[in-house]
Amino acid sequence: MDGAQVTATAPVFILLGPPGAGKGTQARMLQDAHGFVQLSTGDLLRAAVAAGTDAGKAAKAVMEAGGLVSDDIVIAILKDRLTDEDCARGVILDGFPRTTGQAEALDELLAEAGQHINAAISLEVDDAAMVARISGRFTCGNCGEGYHDVHKPTAVLGTCDKCGNTHMKRRADDNAETVAQRLTEYHKKTAPLIAYYEGKGVLQSLDAMGEIDAITATLSGMVREAAG
Residue 81 interacting with ligand ADP (CB under 6 A): no
Among Zn ion, ligand ADP, none, what does residue 62 contact (CB within 5–8 Å per kind)?
A: ligand ADP
Residue 100 and residue 121: Cα distance in Å, rounded? 16
Sheet holding 146-148, edge to edge: 146-148, 137-140, 168-169
Based on CB atoms, which residue is closest to Zn ion, 9 or 159?
Answer: 159
Candidate residues 39, 55, 68, 105; the one interacting with ligand ADP per rule CB under 6 A: 68
Residue 102 interacting with ligand ADP (CB under 6 A): yes
Residue 46 and residue 219: Cα distance in Å, rounded? 26
Contact 149, 47 (CB under 8 A): no
Q: What is the DSSP letter of 84?
A: S
Residue 66 interacting with ligand ADP (CB under 6 A): yes
Residue 42 interacting with ligand ADP (CB under 6 A): yes
The residues near 200 (Cβ < 8 Å, ≥ 6 apart) are: 117, 120
Among Zn ion, ligand ADP, none, what does residue 119 contact (CB within 5–8 Å per kind)?
A: none
Based on CB atoms, which residue is closest to ligand ADP, 139 or 204?
Answer: 139
Return the range that interacts with ligand ADP (CB under 6 A); candidates 38-46, 48-56, 151-159, 217-225.
38-46
Among Zn ion, ligand ADP, none, what does residue 182 contact (CB within 5–8 Å per kind)?
A: ligand ADP
State the alpha helices, DSSP H only, in 52-141: 54-64, 71-82, 100-112, 127-135
Residue 28 and residue 176: Cα distance in Å, rounded? 25
Residue 33's φ and ψ, nearest 5 degrees, are: -85, -35
Candidate residues 28, 60, 81, 98; the one interacting with ligand ADP per rule CB under 6 A: 98
* Total binding residues toward ligand ADP, as defined by CB under 6 A: 19
Residues that bind Zn ion (CB under 5 A): 140, 142-143, 145, 160, 162-163, 165
Q: Which of residues 108-147 bind ligand ADP (CB under 6 A)?
A: none
Residue 19 interacting with ligand ADP (CB under 6 A): yes
**Closest approach of Cβ 7 to ligand ADP, in Å?**
29
Which among 200, 27, 208, 16 has a CA at the least distance from the CA of 99? Answer: 16
Contact 15, 97 (CB under 8 A): no
